A and B are shown apart, each in its own frame.
Chain A
């Protein structure tokens, strides 16, 4: 049976019918074509499908699409403005925080969730905030550096960013 949902995705209202068993990640990828949200395990252990739901970090494989009804979702495609990278994205690029790119969108959203509530984290804070996001390529060092660098950029006065 299908249910009617209204979801705001990356600032745009959506009006769709979804199967009751449909996962939010499936809705985002298959219905909306937002393929930046990845599937790595479907049981909430890898974090590749991390998105923000009403500003909170969630794993979109553990949320049903119907549960997102009446709420707002932000995915990796909603980061940055007008094609420009935001500070977190730019830091990941500059710090070589990306290898295969599969964990990257989830990492970015986890980093944003941290920086939203703590603009001045230390390394331990960053490591705790990313503990639900697994990366098989990098060994995390460059990712942690990128998030610390992003925090610095976001605290810096406007206009002083490199990109």
Chain B
């Protein structure tokens, strides 16, 4: 373990490498791609929430002038194989084959049932209405309670129940905690369905060429996890020669990991049918209906507490509304292992849960996958404990957080919190927010009939995926389905002395090019401008990577680890080459800025990057025996501190993730009690993201994810009618926040470097989306405290808040 720094480039706000092309309008998004002879596809979707497909006839559409390929759901099932079950549905007992299109039955509004490709988009849309699909409609179930009621219609007859999964896990002695408890605090909580709605919807271009073996397929798509697309195309279409190209992505947030595979398969199938390239670009309503939602989650929570506020244990029962697919049924439950204890030193917890299918959009990863809800459970419970014991909310947290001297800290579930100062984060936030002054102001405002509220929430942002996590929940699974994770980076020092970098993952706005260039610059001591990082991912050119999927929050660990490792290898090789050129032992040389290698004893003896690079490529006779010529390397990173608990032990302890940034959020809100409108007057994040590589980039990630969590809390939501129709089909109906409703979020960094990573870096992506919904809930409850209001459910749109104020049932929709 080395202590990081001092740094030449890491930690500096070096200019964004991506931004110049975007401000010129010269990004390359999938919909910008035009291939010769390319057709345009549209997809027909189910208008019903639950129905049997009786027949589908595309013959009339196929005769429509300009139409060149039609596929209907029965044909699709005939022509393709189902997806293989994946880790988002770990542990499901019954496997029901899932295809890219509905098979026999539709289970949500917007489920794809047919598709066609035509000369242009308008023609394709005209012809789509000529595909005739006949349905026998079935009763829809739109809430878990309705879905598990006796006699409810079944979504999957093969499973025999709409409750498709049940699991339980516990750590520590939960029963003892409750026996010792002086007070038991109980409440029910819920979080709703939302999405991070990337501004660029799904898009794909597929180009199939017949020939040798199964033919060759190239797809350009805006998927954030190329491995998912690669696997999906091979599994469903049986094509071995698949090339996946990923250019700029207009935001992803987890949303572009999973369901996008269906549409890539459908577009590819159309291309196979007509032998021409086909483009498909989703529209906004399609995305809101069928692009995937965060899971609706309901909780019953009991906390065993001592009178001084010490929490001894927590009992949580969870019901997940997973929508009309089995393919992601368990992910919102399993992902709670990642932040199961949040920031707290609590000895015992039990979590049991069920996944219930409903006739709604399938659930998908989305800025945290279940972590925001786990944090919501903890933080709402901390506020409840404070209220019931008459303690201050800050004090309850200070009483229970992992103490600053206790790091690295191992939670009862086996997570090892690398470093942290949670007390410091709380104190800094309270100080900067002016917590005591605000409480006085709140009291004054109340006498004027104004309702100000101060909200507090804290959370961790686990980073770096460990594939063995789910084994803790499924100890009966035979063999290890996976463990740890890896990603690669390829570095080449050019003969000009500049550096080219290729990463194993695509970027979707997180500043990968900027950040990776800084790390290379740091190790090779050259200016970051001399490092070019590829902006396009291509399976024929890029190293293997474990996907930038952020609930893995992998970039900081696996990609930065790979870039750092590759650059270090090349630096060592440069030193060895220089030693040979100068006739000196490598340890008598120093590696200086701008690629100069100099003798420590005799500074006049030196060589440089350009000379060494020319030699390595063009003068191989002078390359020492046993040394590979050239200055190119691919480094695959493996987290070197993955043990202990890299795989679950007998007590099911496992490291769900590997680095643990943390943050405290504080909000000041004002509630208009006549309308229920909530205004966020101030919002502060005090965070520990370890060593920050680029402060401008990280600040953007923190503010952006906090803004999303605030918008989620204040009303962005999917609402369904009792017939299973989605009522929120546009961004405005959905309630996305704008510049007018998003507060001017303040960020303060209080970084504690990780002792486990090469630069001390930790994750920095989805983190602020995790505590922010809880912080707003805390603030609104605090504002309405004189009215006796308790906030248990999100979202807190004006109507919900007005109902709370007026003592009416809070939830308007299922």
Point out residues on A near B: beta carbons under 8 Å.
Answer: 19, 21-22, 26, 29, 33-43, 45-46, 48, 75-77, 79-80, 85, 89-90, 92-105, 108, 123, 126-128, 130-144
Contacts and interface: CB of A to CB of B under 8 A. Distances in A.
Contacts of A97: 19
Contacts of A98: 16, 18-19, 22-23
B18 A139 contact: no
Given A98-B16, A105-B25, 19 more contacts: A34-B25, A37-B25, A41-B284, A41-B730, A77-B25, A98-B23, A99-B704, A100-B249, A100-B251, A102-B250, A130-B739, A132-B738, A134-B731, A136-B704, A138-B700, A139-B707, A141-B745, A142-B696, A142-B703
Given A42-B283, A99-B511, A138 B703 contact: yes
B256 to A, nearest CB: 11
Interface string B29-40: 101101000000
B732 interface: yes
B510 interface: yes
B417 to A, nearest CB: 27
A85 B23 CA distance: 8
A48 B24 CA distance: 14
Interface in B12-26: 13, 15-16, 18-26
B19 A139 contact: no
Given A100-B509, A104-B22, A135 B199 contact: yes
Given A46-B199, A100-B199, A101-B18, A89 B23 contact: yes
A29 B31 CA distance: 9
Of listed B22, B510, B700, B745, residue having the most chain A CB within 10 A = B22
Contact of B24 (A76, A126, A131, A143): A76
A17 B22 CA distance: 30
Grouping DSSP codes into helix (H, G, I), strand (E, B) and loop, the A interface class, with mixed when no group exceeds half, is: loop
Nearest to A99: B509
A40 B248 contact: no
Contact of A96 (B196, B251, B699, B705): B699
Contact of B250 (A22, A38, A142): A38
B247 to A, nearest CB: 11
A76 B24 CA distance: 6
A66 B201 CA distance: 27
Contacts of A128: 739-740
A131 B740 contact: yes
Interface in B27-64: 27, 29, 31-32, 34
Given A41-B284, A94-B15, A123 B744 contact: yes
B250 A108 contact: no
A123 to B, nearest CB: 7
B23 A96 contact: no
Interface string B489-527: 000000000000000000011110000000000000000
A137 B24 CA distance: 19
A50 to B, nearest CB: 12
Interface of B: 13, 15-16, 18-27, 29, 31-32, 34, 121-122, 196-201, 248-251, 253, 281, 283-284, 508-511, 696-697, 699-700, 703-708, 730-732, 736, 738-740, 742, 744-745
A43 B281 contact: no
A99 B739 contact: no
Nearest to B694: A96
Contacts of B31: 29, 35, 38-39
B122 A36 contact: no
Contact of B281 (A19, A39, A104, A136): A39
B704 A137 contact: yes
29 contacts: A21-B122, A35-B31, A35-B32, A38-B199, A38-B200, A76-B25, A79-B23, A79-B25, A89-B23, A89-B24, A96-B19, A98-B16, A100-B248, A100-B508, A101-B19, A101-B22, A101-B248, A102-B29, A102-B199, A102-B250, A105-B23, A127-B739, A135-B199, A136-B704, A136-B736, A137-B199, A138-B700, A141-B703, A142-B700
Contacts of A89: 23-24
Contacts of A21: 122
A142 B699 contact: yes
A48 B199 contact: yes
A139 B680 CA distance: 14
B257 to A, nearest CB: 16
A143 B509 CA distance: 14
Contacts of A144: 739, 744
A84 B200 CA distance: 27
Contact of B16 (A26, A38, A93, A102): A93
A37 B25 CA distance: 7
Contacts of A102: 27, 29, 198-200, 250-251
B29 A138 contact: no
Contacts of A48: 199
Nearest to B508: A100
Contacts of B201: 40
Given A41-B730, A45-B732, A136-B196, A99 B23 contact: no
Contacts of B21: 101
Contacts of B26: 36
A140 B742 CA distance: 8
Contacts of A143: 739
Nearest to B121: A26
Contact of A136 (B13, B708, B745): B708
B510 A99 contact: yes
A98 B511 CA distance: 9
Of listed A45, A79, A90, A99, residue having the most chain B CB within 10 A = A99
Contacts of A101: 18-19, 21-22, 27, 248, 250, 509
A26 B699 CA distance: 35
A40 B200 CA distance: 6
A41 B198 CA distance: 11
A40 B736 CA distance: 13
Contacts of A126: 739
Contacts of A41: 283-284, 730-731
A70 to B, nearest CB: 24
Nearest to A104: B22
Nearest to B33: A35
Contacts of B199: 38, 40, 46, 48, 100, 102-103, 134-137
Contacts of A130: 738-739
A134 B706 CA distance: 15
A137 B700 contact: yes
Nearest to B197: A136
Contacts of A99: 251, 509-511, 700, 704
A64 to B, nearest CB: 13
A108 B355 CA distance: 44
B736 A134 contact: yes
A139 B704 CA distance: 4
A130 B415 CA distance: 43
B122 A100 contact: no
B261 to A, nearest CB: 21
A80 B509 contact: no
A98 B16 CA distance: 9
Contacts of B248: 100-101
Contacts of B705: 139
Nearest to A102: B250
A136 B253 contact: yes
B32 A96 contact: no
Nearest to B732: A45
A105 B1 CA distance: 45
Contacts of B744: 123, 141, 144
A140 B199 CA distance: 14
A145 B742 CA distance: 14
Given A99-B510, A100-B200, A130-B739, A43 B284 contact: yes
A40 B732 CA distance: 13
A42 B32 CA distance: 16
B17 to A, nearest CB: 10
B654 to A, nearest CB: 32
Nearest to B733: A45
A89 B16 CA distance: 13
